[in-house]
Structure 1
Amino acid sequence: MRFRTRTGVPWRDELERYGPWGRVYDLFRRWQRDSTWQRIFAELQAQADASELITWDLNIDSTVCQAHQYAAGARKRGVGERAARRHHRRAG
């Protein structure tokens, strides 16, 4: 399972030495459903924290911030266009 998660290969391309891919997948899903993966992660995290290998800093994920409507690729006026408009207004 670690090989598959690390490399991203499809389940059917799992190495033969790990057994039939279907059994490996079934075990993975069982561990997912019964929270075995969560418990493994929590234990590894606790060990790393006890060894002071984790620096607990605040992290803000910008994916939850709404972007301005023009950030999605709407046409933007260039500096030259703005300057030309100002000049045109003054002249008129």
Structure 2
Amino acid sequence: MAGVIRRHELTDAAWVRIEPLLPGHPRQGGWWVDHRMVLNGILWKLATGAPWRDLPERYGNWKTVYERYRRWAADGTFDSLLEHVQVHDDSVGRI
């Protein structure tokens, strides 16, 4: 992701750590919105508490971001991310 990293967005270092842990693209055809853009939208929403419909356009369609958030919450993706970060940070003495 080129450009300025805004407040509440993933740094390049954080993205490198979590990108491999995110689900792959759907098996069926169709266009898939970039995970990093969507995840940054989710982080913006959670940090601001704003309604999903107020999501800035730079994060894509609010419904797409919401649906990905809902899917990842239900399928355990967020739990896996948290566990990975906790295990990694504990192994390097950050916890």
Q: TM-score, normalised by structure 1?
A: 0.56
1:31 deviates by 0.2
Please point out which of 58, 68, 85 is paired with 1:17: 58
Q: What are the residue-to-residue correspondences of 1:1-92 with 2, within 5 Å?
A: 1-54=42-95
Identity %: 39
- CA distance, structure 1, for counterparts of residue 92 and residue 49 of structure 2: 30
Unmatched segments (≥5 aa) in structure 2: 1-41
Root-mean-square deviation over aligned CA pairs: 0.8
Larger radius of gyration: 1
Q: Higher RCO, 1 or 2 (CA under 8 Å, sep at least 6)?
A: 2
User: What residue ranges of structure 1 are gaps of 5+ in the alignment?
Assistant: 55-92
CA distance in 2, matches of 1:48, 1:6: 22
Tell me which stretches of 4 or more aligned residues in structure 1 moved more than 4 Å. none
